[in-house]
Amino acid sequence: MSKVNFLKKEILEKTKELYELKFGEKKEFTPGETYVNYGGRFFDEKEMVNLIDSSLDFWLTTGPWAKKFEKGLAEYLGTKYCSLVNSGSSANLLAFMALTSPSLGDRRINRGDEVITVAAGFPTTVTPVIQYGAIPVFIDVEIPSYNIDVTQLEAALSEKTKAVMVAHTLGNPFNLKAVREFCDRNNLWLIEDNCDALGSEYFIDGEWKKTGTIGDLGTSSFYPPHHMTMGEGGAVYTNNSKLAKLVNSFRDWGRDCWCDSGKDDTCKYRFTKQFGELPLGYDHKYVYSHFGYNLKVTDMQAAIGCAQLEKLPAIVEARRKNWERLYNGLKDLSDKIVLPEKEKDSNPSWFGFLISVKENSGKSRVELAKYLEANRIQTRNLFAGNLIKHPAFDEMRASGEGFRTVGDLKNTDFIMNNTIWIGVYPGMSNEMLDFMIEKVREYVLG
């Protein structure tokens, strides 16, 4: 064994030892004192070993670990293509921007075209649409699925509609059968924001498929509270080779060339073609077919993701079990609170557990949140509640331009006023889950 390999092996063994000393011992849960986070990093020594291993190669930017992760996630999802990016928000940006490429002809999303979505969600599902100059069309959601109300799709449709871009709420798949049929019937693109639903499944076309793979493009986030993490990170995936190439172009500065970093002339176009008004033979590595970005990850992040990917099936199963435990412990309170229900023909990979306080219950969402937080139980709102009520929309609301709504968004406003959620992530013990059940019951029945 060479001196380099010997030292590397020793460093990695010390890394395992450090993990055990710093993170290996499980802390005892003390009700009311131990903080119950809604989510967090779920890892062991393998993530730390991969991180150190990749850092010792000092590749730094996207490299072999990233390729390994892209291949592994595509295999898990059952897609042909996967592009690793630096966040879930960037994944949404790239999925949308790919559909603005002139190469898509009549199906290209132009400025002023419309994209159907919901206001009860996270801002970065909608931000790319607005920043590009397209028009989001907001429709309401259903309760207790908290997902897009598919009965409003036809009312939202116009001659300018080009796409539907919507998220699976907290891991609960939306009605993909209805939404996809609507998109197919009207020749619309479908982007599934799958950032909160990695591992969720939906029965369609006679088989179970992973969410994010049923539309034209799917996106994921690897921020720490999500199903798996790289610290920061995200992915875009598709079965469409042209869309995959467009995603990578926008991710990689907008370049026309598809050669991997550090490799020249894989495309065989380097000095042989003429592009735009550039001179014949202009170096293809510096030809830009889109106004793109640099949204890649480091190989060190990807190395963490490779270890996380091995845990993903167990993570998904744990989230499902934790959600079921909370549901069974609270299901008799249906006269006071609204409990979530999974979509028909779905098997959710839950991100959290939604609780809505009924308006005639004599209870308050804010007071429930305060009570839980006072007992060291972390809570979250359903993200934006009603996105168009936020300060970011002040100018557009005042001008009446830049977005469109269908109906009164009654359920969206109900969520804004009455809904919170608590966690189900794998780091939770049964003692933590039972404590959360106990405290929710105390407030609701008190």
Name the CA dihedral angle for 352, 74, 207, 325, rounded to a multiple of 10 degrees.
-20
Q: CA–CA separation, 425 vs 40, rounded Å?
A: 7
d(CA 102, CA 108): 6
Q: Alpha helix locations (H) across 289-418?
A: 299-330, 365-374, 394-399, 410-418
Sign of CA dihedral 390, 395, 398, 403: negative
Burial of residue 184 (CB within 10 Å: 0-12, 13-18, 19+) is exposed
CA angle at 169 for the pair 166 and 175, rounded to the nearest 5°: 65
Q: How far is CA 176 from CA 43, 59, 170, 181, in A?
A: 32, 40, 15, 8
Q: Which amino acid appears at position 198 of this protein?
A: L
Cα–Cα distance measured from residue 148 to residue 161, given in angstroms and rounded to the nearest whole number: 17
Q: Is the dihedral of CA 306, 312, 314, 315 positive or negative?
A: positive
Q: Has 168 been annotated as catalytic?
A: no
SS3 category, 141: strand
Return the residue matching tokens 């804004």.
Answer: 416
Q: For the sheet with 81-85, list strands across it.
A: 81-85, 234-238, 217-221, 189-193, 161-167, 114-118, 135-139, 404-405
Q: Which residues contact 356 (CB under 8 A, 6 or more apart)?
A: 143, 144, 337, 338, 365, 414, 415, 418, 419
Question: Strands 161-167 and 114-118: what pairing?
Answer: parallel
Residue 301 burial (10 A CB sphere; 0-12, 13-18, 19+): buried
d(CA 284, CA 258): 9
**HEC per residue, 295-322:** CCCCHHHHHHHHHHHHHHHHHHHHHHHH
**What is the maximal distance between C-alpha atoms in the chain?**
78
Kindly give the interhelix angle for 3-19 and 45-57, rounded to the nearest 10 degrees.
150
Please tell me which residue in 226, 227, 284, 290 is annotated as part of the active site: 226
Pull the structure tokens for residue 161: 């509609």
> Is 101 within 8 Å of 65 (Cβ atoms)?
no
Catalytic residues: 226
